[in-house]
Amino acid sequence: MTEASRAVLDDAQKTAPLDPRDAGTQLRPGLWHTINERYPGSMVTRHTHVPLAPLAKPLNQARLVMISSCGVHRKTDRPLDVCHPFGDFGFRRAPSNTRPADLTIHQLKYPHDDADQDINVVFPIERLQELVAEGTLGGLTPNFFSFIGYNMATERFERTVVHDIAEAVEVEEKADVALLVPA
């Protein structure tokens, strides 16, 4: 690397916006430690598991549904409740043909600066549309699902949100495979 190239790179790094994690400007630094202290047992722990189901057909013939805990929804939808101390017990559907410009993240519990610039970081809708266009995936379900992953009443969350999404995926969307995307 030449001296001139090194100088340009140094200048670019000095003017680049700081990552909120490096700058110490996260919304809630130390959040997980605080939650575990205030609400012992609120973090989900399972000693049993559901085995993975084998694919009934090749991916290039399968319909995929995406389910994300990132809190994404269409800008025209009612926002998720980010203020309730125990979390939101709802979810939003985002049509799988939605343009990223029509989506927003309504979430306060994690820094999403990068995802605000490219929604595909937490909700890879364009990447999935591309995989269908190139024939890697057989298709997408009409709707994808998103909810706020932060929730302090895990049993209620499982009985409501998890149950309702699972039922919609099986009965309405008729998905062959699910992509679970944590945020």
Model pLDDT for residues 113-156, shown as the tens digit of each residue: 777 788 888 889 999 999 999 999 999 999 999 988 777 777 88
Range of the structural domain that residue 168 is part of:
59-181
- Angle of CA points 8, 10, 13, to nearest 5°: 110
Same domain flag for 95 and 150: yes
Is 176 a member of any domain?
yes
What's the CA gap between 103 and 77, in Å, rounded?
9
pLDDT > 90? residue 99: yes
pLDDT of 9 > 70? The answer is no
- Return the structure tokens found at 132: 């269908």
Q: With beta carbons less than 8 A apart as the criterion, state whether 96 and 173 touch.
A: no
Does residue 67 carry a pLDDT above 80? yes
Asked whether residue 49 is assigned to any structural domain, the reply reads no
Structural domain total, the chain: 2
Residue 91 lies in a domain: yes
Task: State the amino acid at position 11 in one-letter form.
Answer: D
Triad 23, 26, 28: Cα angle to 5°? 145
Residue 134 lies in a domain: yes
Q: How confident is the model at residue 157 (pLDDT cuts 50, 70, 90)?
A: confident
Please say if the pLDDT value at position 86 is more than 70. no
